[in-house]
Amino acid sequence: MPDLGKYAAEVLSAYGVSLVLIALIVWASLARARKVKAELAAIEKRKEPHG
């Protein structure tokens, strides 16, 4: 690990906050994708076949 000097706490906390935010964004994206997929499946299920 590189020597961060007197700003080690600030740098490491910034990295920590960034990783948490990225994890939250990924989680929210996956949750939204599951919801949209379920909604689309419901629409497809109730759609009557044409022809």
* pLDDT profile of the chain (51 residues), mean per 10: 86 96 98 97 84 51
Query: pTM for the complete prediction?
Result: 0.71
Helices (H), 1-51: 8-46
Burial code (b: 16+ CB inside 10 Å, e: under 16) for 6-19 equals eeeeeeeeeeeeee
Between CA 43 and CA 30 the distance in angstroms is 20
Between CA 9 and CA 23 the distance in angstroms is 21
